[in-house]
Amino acid sequence: MPRRCNNSSSLIRKKRLKKMKLTDNEKRDAVRFIEEGKPLPEKYRFLLFDESKQVELTWNGKSDEVTNVVLPFQIIEHVDEPRTETKKLAQDSFEFTSGRQVSGWTNKLIWGDNKYILSSLKNGPMREEIEKNGGIKLIYIDPPFDVGADFSMDIEIGNSTYEKKPNVLEHIAYRDTWGKGEDSFLSMIFERLSLMKDLLAEDGSIYVHCDWRLNSSIRLILDEIFGRENYRNEIVWCYSGPGKNDKGFVKKHDNILFYAKSDSTKFEILRVKHKSGIHNSGNFLGKESFKEGLKEELESLGKRIEDWWSDIYTADRKRNELVGYPTQKPHELLERIILSSTQPNDIIADFFVGSGTTPAVAERLNRKWICSDLGKFGIHTTRKRLINVQRELKEDGRDYRAFEILNLGKYQRQHFIYDGKNERDELKQQEKIQKENDFKSLILEAYKATEVQGFNSLHGKKGFEFVSIGPVNQALSRNHVEEVINECLKNNITSVNILAFEFEMGWDRTLQEEAKDKGIRLSYKQIPIDVFDKRAVQKGEVIFYDIAYIEFKPIIKKNMLSIELTDFAVFYNEGNLNINEELQAGKSKIIVENGDLVEKHKDKDGNISENILTKNWHDWIDYWSVDFDYESKPEVIKFKKEDGSTEEVWTGNYVFENEWQSFRTKDDKKLELISSERELINNKTKVAVKVVDIFGNDTIKVMEVKI
């Protein structure tokens, strides 16, 4: 006897099913599956939906929904000129005899999760600026497609190499990307490619770099998003070198999938020289022989480039290009792509920028660019690379563009955390909140603090000091610290330790001074990655360390000012948990211990010897720069209001204007510790010094200087 449906929702489902082209048995079975909460068999997808795709890639977790969060971009650094030693005039008084900065568009290097960056570019106020400059004409991405990689970085320290593990935010992102293997990667790339399509100009194109691991899957995804009719090429980039594959041929090529946005997408035909010349063949032009001079003309013109490229060497074969990044691509590869699909002054984007090859080539080819990366090390590597490009262009008498380094601001944290799109996502968010709370409890336990209730930004107490835990899934922002200060003032609290995994780029201690003036002592502590090890937490072995500090002094000669860097200290601990027990006899390992890089060696008898690699305080410094007139450029962020208009708000911060810099390169390890001189117009100024350590973390100190 058929089961009676008493509730109205079941009746509605039955009425809808009656309108479908289903047999009575199929309708009855479909209702039963739905009522029992079971998935419908695959055949119903084609029976219920006439326009259902006949061929598509499916995976666990696939969804057509994309993020639509809009977060503001914070400009934290502005690099508007290469350093100069010959001109010693005040800012804005330079007389250039060679290349000069191009006005108008400023290139953008953004640190953050590219999902939120793409969503904010697409839906936020920066979209208008992009459209005014013609829209994004080309997107090139080289996403991390190695499911087995741990994304560590090798950092050279003198003659030694230290393997730097990803920071906590990178760990979270990579866990989300690869946590379920290929399924979670495909979900990640599907959503981002969907956002990229919406952001791309109608006549734009996209190139996706991949290899054998996910090439076939990504192509099907691109077919679905951009349309199979907009497929242009699968470029095979061939290269040679050592390799091993005992079960097949050695894998020595990458694939670059090229798709157009529409039929209006432009393409420039490129040609290369014929390798062996044009032979006098009767079949070549369908004629018995070449007309006089035609062979020479065709050889001079060159042949059209095919979809297999064997004439471009990998980056490791070109030492003058290497910047020490494991997945670096050669200039020629990006140059060919950019020249074929863009014109001068077009905007190019790369949302997995890595070592910065895309913007470096784009700048040399007079293209505008927007690039982003989740890793601070990648952003820092790109910054150094672009400054070098600016210097080269200026020296050659060619113009260049300024670029900005931006944070993805978290001024609307509720949107960042609660970005659910439907009821099912809301349930997931509740689970996420519970996990965050559990994890904060674990952090308090590791810090040997007790949990407190009744506060918004204060979570625990250790002795007489309160404890505030920064965001678990993002960098600590100025806003969080301001919330802590306000809550302390309301509750007469005088001392707080603020714990954070990561700090926003351009982090400075000015809020500490402001809090001190209000009777509040703030201290910042870095949460170590060891907190993920519950065993270490239970044993009390997790060490929280202070953030870096800078010391510098002004050198004043009449109205000329230069800056001498006098001290820099970090307090990192990394890789040393249980190292004495885990290190094998006869082996060595480099760790970070109490702010020193230490090489530990265990001999055959189990005795451990140590060699400190960071002999001097400046061994920790990779880069430092000076803004001689800090607070001259307020940081303004743009919000999109509900009526569609744009509102500008001063954050209370200032943009660091990078006027002088010294940094190490792969070929030049020297670091200058005294800046060039700068003329001062007024009798006092605020000087900001930024230091970036060898791990890519930056710190700023501000000092008022009087003549």
What is the spatial distance between Cα 423 and Cα 446, in angstroms, rounded to a whole number?
35
Least Cα distance to 221 among 64, 47, 44, 68 occurs for 64
Provide the pLDDT confidence category of residue 291 given band limits of 50, 70 and 90. low
Looking at the fold, whether 36 and 123 belong to one and the same domain comes out as no
Any domain includes 587: yes
Q: Measuring CA to CA, which residue among 196, 662, 169 is closest to residue 373?
A: 169
Q: Is residue 630 part of a domain?
A: yes
The pLDDT score that the predictor gives to residue 279 is 56
- For residues 286 and 331, membership in a common domain is answered with no
Q: Which of 180, 87, 72 is nearest to 117 (CA)?
A: 72
Band of the pLDDT at 316, cuts 50, 70, 90? Answer: confident
Cβ atoms of 654 and 136 within 8 Å: the answer is no
Q: Report if residue 261 sits inside a domain.
A: yes
Which of the four pLDDT bands, split at 50, 70 and 90, describes residue 567? very high
Domain shared by 322 and 285, yes or no:
no
Share of the chain above pLDDT 90, in %: 42
Q: Which residues pair with 626 in a beta bridge?
A: 660, 689
The percent of residues in the chain predicted with pLDDT above 70, rounded, is: 84
CA 63 to each of CA 184, 194, 556, 557, 683: distance values in angstroms, whole numbers, following the listed order:
11, 11, 62, 64, 61
Which domain covers residue 285, as residue numbers? 271-304
Q: Is the pLDDT of residue 453 over 90?
A: yes
pLDDT digits (tens, 9 = 90+) for 6-52: 444 444 444 454 455 678 888 888 888 888 888 777 777 667 765 55
449 and 486, same domain (yes or no): yes
Q: List phi, psi (to 5°) of 265.
A: -60, 135
Q: Do 526 and 546 meet the contact criterion of CB atoms below 8 Å apart?
A: yes
pLDDT tens-digit map of 58-80: 888 888 888 888 888 988 899 98
Domain shared by 658 and 637, yes or no: yes
Q: Is 583 exposed, middle or buried (0-12, 13-18, 19+ CB in 10 A)?
A: middle
- Please check whether residue 67 lies inside any domain of the structure: no
Q: Does residue 201 sit in the same domain as residue 93?
A: yes
**Alpha carbon distance 291, 355 (integer Å):** 49
CA distance 81 to 100: 8
pLDDT-derived band at 426 (thresholds 50, 70, 90) equals: low
If you average pLDDT over residues 114-139, what whole number do you get?
95
The tens digit of pLDDT for each residue in 245-281 reads 888 898 899 999 999 999 999 999 898 887 766 655 4
Asked if residue 368 lies in contact with residue 401, where contact means CB atoms within 8 angstroms, the answer is yes
* Per-residue pLDDT tens over the stretch 485-523: 999 999 999 999 999 988 887 777 778 888 999 999 999
Residues whose CB is less than 8 angstroms from the CB of residue 557 and which lie 6 or more positions away in sequence, other chains included: 677
CB 202 within 8 A of CB 230: no
SS3 335: helix
Q: What is the mean pLDDT of residues 117-138?
A: 95
Higher per-residue confidence, 703 vs 316:
703
Using CA atoms, how far apart are residues 139 and 117, in angstroms rounded to an integer? 14
Please state, in angstroms and rounded to a whole number, the distance separating the CA atoms of residues 508 and 499: 15
Amino acid letter, 614: T
Per-residue model confidence (pLDDT) at position 420 = 40
398 with 283, same domain: the answer is no
Question: In this structure, how many other beta carbons lie within 10 angstroms of the beta carbon of residue 696?
Answer: 21
Q: Is 175 a member of any domain?
A: yes
What's residue 106's pLDDT?
A: 94
Give residue-wise pLDDT tens across range 587-639.
888 888 888 888 889 998 889 999 998 889 999 999 999 999 998 999 888 88
CA angle at 57 for the pair 54 and 62, rounded to the nearest 5°: 115
Structure confidence by residue, pLDDT tens digits, 633-678 = 998 888 877 777 888 888 778 899 999 999 998 878 889 999 999 9
Reduced to 3 states (helix: H, G, I; strand: E, B; else coil), residue 312 is: coil
End-of-domain residue from the set 380, 409, 438 = 409
Higher pLDDT: 625 or 328? It is 625
- Residue 549, pLDDT above cutoff 80: yes
Bridge partner residues of 287 (DSSP): none
Q: Among 518, 543, 568, where does a domain finish?
A: 543
- pLDDT tens, 338-391? 999 999 999 999 999 988 999 999 999 999 999 999 888 889 999 999 999 999
> What letter does residue 41 receive in the DSSP assignment?
P
The answer to whether residues 375 and 296 belong to one domain is no
Within a domain: residue 32? Answer: yes
Q: Is 106 helix (H, G, I), strand (E, B) or coil?
A: strand
Q: How confident is the model at residue 421 (pLDDT cuts 50, 70, 90)?
A: very low
Domain boundary among the residues 361, 394, 409 is at 409
Q: Are both 428 and 572 inside the same structural domain?
A: no
Task: Give the distance between the most distant pair of CA atoms in the chain.
Answer: 102
Residue 217, H or E segment: helix 215-226
Q: Alpha-carbon torsion 297, 298, 304, 310, what sign?
A: negative
| Candidate from 190-204, 552-566, 582-596 with smallest mean pLDDT | 582-596
DSSP state of 620: G
pLDDT of residue 577: 73
Tell whether 339 is covered by a domain.
yes
What pLDDT is stored for residue 6 in this prediction?
46
342 or 185, which is more confident: 342
Closest CA to 700 of 665, 663, 655: 655
**Residues 491 and 530 both lie in one domain:** yes
Domain count for the chain, please give it: 5
Q: Are 505 and 111 in contact (CB under 8 A)?
A: yes
Same domain, 364 and 221: yes
Q: Could you give phi then psi for residue 387, rounded to 5 degrees?
A: -65, -40
Asked whether 449 and 496 are in contact (CB, 8 A), the reply is no
Half-sphere exposure of 227 (CA within 13 A, CB side): 8
Task: State residue 149's pLDDT score.
Answer: 59
pTM over 0.85: no
Secondary element (H or E) of residue 560 = strand 560-569
| Residue 535 covered by a domain | yes
Query: How far apart are the C-alpha atoms of 593 and 553, rounded to whole Å?
Result: 28
**Do residue 131 and residue 165 come from a single domain?**
yes
Mean pLDDT of 547-565: 93
On average, the pLDDT of the chain sits at 83
Mean pLDDT, residues 192-198? 97
